[in-house]
A and B are shown apart, each in its own frame.
Chain A
């Protein structure tokens, strides 16, 4: 029966129907829902791994053991997993192995907008790229066939607009595959130099065979068009925008496989049209390939290497016209994302701001601590970079910065790749102060469990990694826990640990205010008789507080009653908890 599915849910359905038995991933927008949806099928073992490298290695192990396996990640996650990726390309697989990577052109929820197609070329792996949910399902299944037929992991490339769009799919039945027996094969699976030297030519031959397959594969299809002045080479969302703008006017070569590319098919297509045009998002990957073939591409048409493509941009380049709307002559204030009312990170960031500290930040909801009025962050690079960056910062400053510089990192990010940085700080003895913002969940991506929460992906209780013990075990003697709702305690602990003459970890612990099990005391009240309009409460950037007619006003629909603002009020105008 036809139904609407997110592209990500459709990938999960494809995994299910293809008999996938093992899924290991780390959450990351826009890839997260693949693994969440896969976990709902009882036939699939599914887990959150601490990071993408672990996930990919686990998926490889499952393939080696003979079961079809999968790992999914966002584009920057593939950077983390790049190490196993390049070598699993050499070993190939036993049972089929599929890797999904979801790019985020336009950076809706990412720190960069890299184009993951380069990984397919660099690692010499096949990459399929669906253009809607039906293809997401079909390509996931096809990926397993290719994986086993050509003895290779296969990359399924998603992007925000495909991953997070629902379109029509017709689900099919699951097919079970008996486990492929594992056979010891050192020449194939032990990648020491002698063996790897023999495997590399196998990889190159495989790429040629895949290229031959791509020449006649139905997923690389020519759609006819009457007007042969242009012929368009495209894939993914770009294909949808081309069809939206031009319908069936021009011939289109729609690629379902973006690496390796079908050279003959592209040449033949180019010969049938006056001008070959490539429509693609971000880097000129397909275009550079065509140029490399000596084909004249693009003509007057050009697309930028930055930001996601839009339907109007494509329409304008192909037809020199696009729809226009009504513009309102009003200055519209932006509405950036903010820390939620009651967010436990707020009190801690207020403390960092108040003490005028340099803060090396990390990836998560708490990156919002960088924006006004808190503005308590100096750098954000990638998962785990806060702690390792702080170590380098302190070493380079000759210890001079140690008393006024901290790293902040979430619980899930710490487990992902923060702990190795902490080991470095302990081992190489920088007097670093690391703050773990433990909100007992992976918040940013929409509440996924992680090794510190005590629950697994399926929601069942499991081993809970104890952060305090872990920090002590890697050599940190000073480990403190503080409640971020308690501003006085935060201030005291942060000052003491910065003053201490050895590395320390402060665990700022309180569960995410959006977790269903968290009970809030309810909105506090403001007393206009006592409020003098000093705006001290506005320093924390809480969306539930605003100033109207010179007085603080609490939004009862947002306020959770956390009481952080009340601790800033010297006039007792804000009700709720009074501390300090």
Chain B
């Protein structure tokens, strides 16, 4: 099979690494060759962060370049707009509609672009936008945004719900498991 590529983008501290690790393990379990690439260090301090997940019979590059992503999963709306160019023509973009102001917007030096959902669709992007923050809060914690989004991404794969929930159980502390499973289902079914 052709190598598939997913980019997970967001803001440092949103938990994008957990999502990519979880996905990597599931894909490895299916017998694929898998590469998951992360960025550590300075970029994590509230900056724009990217992780790449690639799988297939044989995966070479650990990173994804422009025009190569089958799916972009974005944890924040502006980040979805930032990384659009990395999407393959006809690829799917799943984004949280949550908006987090970057420092140039906070200081008033620049404006947060308006109407991004419409503009993304107008550019011909197959967009699936959801309010993952509200869903996470409904599940019990605003910190579960990443699991809500994993739930939404799960629709793109043919893993069973049980397989996903098992992978989540291996990745989150037991005391938060029930809440995270709720968050996953809300993202998957909403």
Contact = CB atoms under 8 A, between A and B. Distances in A.
A540 B123 CA distance: 38
Given A2-B28, A333-B104, A325 B34 contact: no
A546 interface: yes
Q: How large is the interface on B (under 10, 10 to 19, 20 to 34, 35 or more residues)?
A: 35 or more
A164 B39 CA distance: 7
Specify which of B41, B59, B79, B112 lies most central, judged by the most chain A CB atoms within 10 Å of its CB: B41
A108 B67 contact: no
A4 B89 CA distance: 30
A307 to B, nearest CB: 13
B44 A372 contact: no
A340 interface: yes
Interface stretch (B45-53, B165-173, B174-182): B45-53
B186 to A, nearest CB: 18
A76 to B, nearest CB: 13
Specify which of A2, A327, A543 lies most central, judged by the most chain B CB atoms within 10 Å of its CB: A543
B65 A334 contact: no
Contacts of B59: 167
B33 A168 contact: yes
Nearest to B11: A335
A368 to B, nearest CB: 7
A451 B12 CA distance: 28
A547 interface: yes
A578 B104 CA distance: 28
B60 A331 contact: no
A414 interface: no
A562 to B, nearest CB: 15
B25 A4 contact: yes
B160 interface: no
A155 to B, nearest CB: 22
Contacts of A335: 11, 46-48, 78-79, 82, 102-103
Interface stretch (A171-179, A235-243, A422-430): A235-243
Given A323-B65, A325-B84, A337 B42 contact: yes
A533 to B, nearest CB: 12
A311 interface: yes
A442 to B, nearest CB: 12
A248 to B, nearest CB: 11
Interface in B1-50: 11-12, 21, 24-25, 28, 33-48
A543 B46 contact: yes
Contact of A334 (B11, B21, B40, B104): B104
Contacts of A538: 106-108
B104 A324 contact: no
A241 B87 CA distance: 18
7 contacts: A109-B40, A165-B62, A166-B35, A167-B59, A240-B61, A325-B86, A546-B105
Given A30-B41, A328-B85, A546-B106, 8 more contacts: A166-B24, A167-B36, A241-B61, A323-B66, A323-B88, A327-B123, A332-B82, A332-B113
Nearest 9 Cβ contacts at the A-B interface: A109-B41, A323-B67, A29-B41, A165-B62, A337-B47, A335-B102, A337-B45, A325-B67, A325-B85
Interface of A: 2-4, 6, 29-30, 32-33, 108-109, 132, 160-162, 164-168, 237, 240-241, 243-244, 310-312, 315, 322-340, 365, 368, 371-373, 444-446, 538, 541, 543, 545-547, 557
